[in-house]
Structure 1
Amino acid sequence: MGKQWWTAVGVNLLLGIPGVVPVWLLWYLAVNWPLAALGWTEREATENDGVLPWLVIAAPVVLVFALLWWLTNRALRRRRTAPAFRLYWPVCALATLLPSFALMIAL
């Protein structure tokens, strides 16, 4: 399982590089609409078009990335012996989010 495990982590790290875009879009939507409505954040002053334009942009990007991630990991999962819900999926999700976390820390 050794080499096979690292290939899954490596593939998810590579998927995380373009995955920065959907993570940023989801963060932007959350900060400007639900969290701002709850009073946890302040809304961007120039963001007055409503949520529909961002959903038209963000929804396809996030859905395409999620589908690509799921199909890739489903194909990789078939060759792994790690427990799926306890180990494989959480590790792959964290590996995919590592580039986003690295950018958040660096900036």
Structure 2
Amino acid sequence: MKRLVFVNLLLGIPGIIYYWVMALMVIRTPLTSWGQMAKDWYEANSLLPMQSVLGPPLAICTMIWVLSNFNVISHRTDPGEHGTLGSNAVSWSLAVAASLIPAAIVLLIATFF
């Protein structure tokens, strides 16, 4: 479990950028305007520029996160935890929580400044 937490803490560091940009996007545009179509796709307030800039790197980082966690979870050395459905759910939820810790720390520090 220590290896799983350590790997996800390291993988969560690049995620800080995505959480920050998504927080800026939420602050800048109201949630009610997200479902509406923009008149011009290249308009400054449409979501297309944000999706085209953040989409491919976010997809690549998500694939790296899933593959590395699959590798760590499937190669555990604890014989009692390997292969059960409950332990896999706990491991994946621990992986998600550990990868959110760096972003939460940065956002907490940012609230004070």
TM-score normalised according to structure 2 size: 0.72
For this pair of structures, how many residues does the alignment match? 94
Partner amino acid, structure 2, of 1:73: N
- Structure 2, gaps ≥5 residues long: 35-42
- Structure 1, gaps ≥5 residues long: 39-46
What pairs with 1:63-74 in structure 2 (closer than 5 Å)?
Answer: 63-74=59-70
Offset, 1:48: 2.8
CA distance in 2 between partners of 1:76 and 1:101 (Å): 23
CA distance in 2 between partners of 1:31 and 1:77 (Å): 36
What pairs with 1:92-103 in structure 2 (closer than 5 Å)?
Answer: 92-103=95-106
Moved over 6 A (4+): none
Partner of 1:106: 109
TM-score normalised according to structure 1 size: 0.75
Asked whether 1:25 is paired with 2:25, we answer no
CA distance in 1 between partners of 2:33 and 2:49 (Å): 18
% of aligned pairs identical? 27
Q: What is the RMSD of the two structures over their aligned residues, measured on CA atoms?
A: 2.2
Which of 77, 91, 94 pairs up with 1:88?
91
Asked whether 1:79 is paired with 2:83, we answer no
Q: SS of the residue aligned with 1:19?
A: helix
Q: SS of the residue aligned with 2:61?
A: helix
